[in-house]
Structure 1
Amino acid sequence: MTTAVVTGAGVVSPNGLGADAFWAATLRGDHAVKPMDRYDTTRFGCRLAAEVRDFEAARHLPSRLIPQTDRMTQFALAASDWAIADAALDTTDLARTDLGVVTAGGAGGFDFGQRELQKLWGEGPDHVSAYMSFAWFYAVNTGQISIKHDLRGPTGVLVAEQAGGIDAIAHARRALRGGAAVVLTGGMDSSLCPYGMAARIAGGRLSTRDDPDRAFLPFDPDSDGHVPGEGGAILVVEDERRARERGATIHGEIAGHGSTFDPPPHSGRPSNLGRAVELALDDAGLGVDDIGVVFADADGSPESDRAEADALVRLFGPRGVPVTAPKTMIGRLCSGGAPLDVVLALRALREGVIPPTIKVTPGHAVDLVRDRPRPFTGTAALVLARGHNGFNSALVLRGPGKDH
């Protein structure tokens, strides 16, 4: 059976552009949650976010693409370039139909959509961009990446909020097993414009605090919801044998995946997150004792955190495995969050160090890696992601030195 490995990663994160910068910033505990300054937030109930402040589209993209694309797509296109460069991937010897792209989308191009709606009502329909027909769409990142790199093989988009970032990677592995040679995958989101923030605030899940140090506290008794962020990661995934034949650096293996759906709210039935973990472990052929670290979903709402902590305690025992949530530094990035956790998990396995969770004092029986990195010797990691309205996904990763 095809073994899917990651050979390249491109990262756009609020605390670093590029995988190396992101990893270093995360180990340092660089906190990117700050008051938003793109517009007047006085009337908004949430005024904090983790913004990508050092990305200039004109430095990374052809000028012709900038008026066609939303901010999230500009992130995705740049990250796909960086991922391909990181993988040292030359596709000229491959059929274009053997090259695919599968991404996750959650919010779509809110920023682009808001600008065009303002033009419609302020200046008239003749001033609305023709690119509005697709730039707002949650599937546009897949389309634009496939066009830019001439990828004509399996394509798709997964929409499951935070969980979609894991499901897209799993679908990329499925495409490899179906015959594709290389698949670009991951997730990218950006909806911090007034239109996007109004929609997120209406969902009732954001923190309303103004202190960046106290606004996003997953697993903490003082939790108050989460802080939004923007960005994500694009990965190059290919068959291990092909990667080794071409001399590629292998970051790690996508070993197992599981996804489930929760019962309706207020049904009295428990979350199925634990079942997703069990499915992922079975798929990887591993047991709970093989997992050296868990990258938690860490929603920041008391109910979701309790359900996740309960699932971890049931599976691993009280404080039975190191747990970390570096997203406390960068907020929740919707479909982009889990791919960033995958990048961190693969680097943690390679470097033997777990990045920290900052600002949190846990109130659950989980062994949270707090405030500073922790050395470890594990060979497998578990990444969890939960999407609003009941999506649960789990991904098991193995380090590059693991024998198969």
Structure 2
Amino acid sequence: MHRVVVTGLGCVTPIGSTIEDVYSSLLSGTTGIGPFDSLPFLPDGVAPFGLRFTQMAQVRDFNPQAHLPSGTIAGSDRTSQFALVAARQAAQHSQFNQHYAPHRMAAVFGCSTGGRISEEAETAKLYTRNARPHPLTVIRTMANAGASHVSIDLGITGPVLTLSTACSSGTHAIGLAFQMVRSGMADAAIAGGHEAPLSYGFLRAWDSMRVVSATQCRPFSADRDGMTLGEGAAMFTLETLASAQARNAPIYAEIVGFGMSADATHITNPASSGAASAMRAALMDAASAPGAPSFESLLEQVGYINAHGTGTQANDSTEAAAIHDLFGPRASTIPISSTKSLHGHSIGATGAIEALITLLALYHGKLPATAGTLVVDPTLNLDVITRAPREATPQLALSNSLAFGGLNAVLALRPYA
């Protein structure tokens, strides 16, 4: 069983499209959530009516022409373009694809909605004008397009696949890639999540569920009123510790455990037992490594939780209950934050973006604040970090993803020393 470390990072997010910019936004509490006064992703002739909310987290500085050739742009949706740019950054940081045989590298991505913008634009033309869909519609909209484009771009011929588990997609993808490298199935992997779902139909559908904040996402706040939708991507390169050390690669953190579970109760109402089970599984997985501390010791070592924290009444109270179920009396003393108040909820990409932020928190010894939350809901009895980042050096951190469908995924990370 190999130890697995992160040697490359890449991102395209509403709070920055470089690692440096993302970290700067975390320190300053600069949010990527803002009003949408124009909706460039709407099909021609469609007016943005019927929405109760006016804000979301868009990647506002993304210009595909600055990164990709015209042929790739023509044949890809915005979500795949995010994946490509973020994956290139991660590969450049680590240079991993120059050190491993193509068939020994893997690419595992999470994406929930596929090429939603392209699909909606073409079906709108079809249904309103009986216009023939663009001949590249299929390859633009398939959910695995991002992984396939990255495979071609980086020359990866080993396992390449996309997972779709709603809001846990990115975390499931990183966890599976971690297991592949740890077991020796792959020598190295690039993994993460990408999503560009902000189409008019997507926004209207979420609006109908009445879970989107009419103002702005405020996780764990006493006055929270829902989530804020977003988009983006985050990617990691993973390899064994021994290989990374041998080639003197940069090491940002070590992934030590991965847990997953299903609530098996309700398609949208979360169950605290499922979330607690996934966190427990991640720590038990970490404890199973040769020479690792016991589960009980690892439970004591957890010094930060990057919560799923959507800002809805149901999620935040359920996640709080799960933390109390697992950690008992310690639950109220563990620093917790949800960074969705900065980058929004980007569905399949959100777990990867939050894993990136968790890693940066460990690497720099500064835990991000839950922006916008001024008064924490006292019924939750949690140590939610508010107003400003908190200096700390956790021995171990958890990054939680809790998805519709009751699908939960949790990563356990520790600083590399």
The normalised TM-score by structure 2 is 0.90
Partner of 1:384: 400
Q: 1:197, 1:319 → 2: CA distance?
A: 35
In percent, how many aligned pairs have the same letter? 27
Which residue in 1 is equivalent to 2:142? 137
Does the Cα contact within 8 Å between 2:271 and 2:406 map onto a contact in 1?
Answer: no
Render the CA deviation track for 1:128-183: whole Å, top value 9, x for unaligned: 22221121122211111112212110122111112111110111012222431221
CA shift, 1:320, in A, is 2.0
Letter of the structure 2 residue corresponding to residue 299 of structure 1: T
Partner of 1:291: 302
Question: Aligned to 1:144, what secondary structure does the other structure show?
Answer: helix
Write the distance in 2 (CA, Å) between the matches of 1:41 and 1:143: 33
Match of 1:160 in 2: 165
Residue pairs, 1:46-85, within 5 angstroms = 46-85=53-92
Alignment of 1:340-379 (within 5 A): 340-360=353-373, 361-363=375-377, 364-379=380-395
Is this contact kept in 1: 2:2–2:184, CA < 8 A? no
Q: What is the correspondence of 1:3-152 to structure 2 with a 5 Å cutoff?
A: 3-39=3-39, 40-91=47-98, 93-121=99-127, 124-126=130-132, 128-152=133-157
Task: Give SS of 1:260's match.
Answer: strand
Cα offset, 1:64, TM superposition: 1.1
Match of 2:412 among 367, 373, 396: 396
* Alpha-carbon distance between aligned partners in 1 of 2:271 and 2:117, rounded to the nearest angstrom: 38
RMSD value over aligned CA atoms?
1.9
SS at match of 1:400: coil
Classify the secondary structure of the residue corresponding to 2:6.
strand
Q: Is the alpha carbon distance of 1:269 and 1:155 closer, same or farther for their aligned partners in structure 2, counting shifts above 3 Å?
A: closer
CA distance in 2, matches of 1:58, 1:396: 37
Q: In 2, are the aligned partners of 1:260 and 1:276 still within 8 Å (CA)?
A: yes
Q: Determine the structure 2 residue equivalent to 1:309.
A: 320
Aligned length: 394
State whether residues 294 and 321 of structure 1, in contact with CA within 8 Å, keep that contact through their aligned partners in structure 2. yes
Partners of 1:269 and 1:229 lie apart in 2 by: 24
Q: Which amino acid aligns with 2:199?
A: C
| Superposition deviation, residue 264 in structure 1 | 1.8
Unmatched segments (≥5 aa) in structure 1? none
Q: TM-score by structure 1 length? A: 0.93
Checking the alignment, whether the CA contact within 8 Å between 1:297 and 1:325 is kept in structure 2 is: yes
- Aligned equivalents of 1:204, 1:103: Cα separation in 2: 29
Deviation at 1:270, TM superposition (A): 4.8
**How big is each residue's C-alpha offset from its partner over 1:374-393, in whole Å with a ceiling of 9 and x where there is no partner?**
01121211100111121111
Aligned match of 2:336: 323
Structure 2 counterpart of 1:231, which letter? G
Map 1:264-283 → 2, pairs under 5 A: 264-265=265-266, 270-283=272-285
Gaps in structure 2 of 5+ consecutive residues: 40-46, 288-294
Q: CA deviation at 1:118?
A: 3.2
For residue 252 of structure 1, what is the aligned residue in structure 2?
253
* Counterparts in 2 of 1:131 and 1:163: CA distance versus 1, 3 Å: same
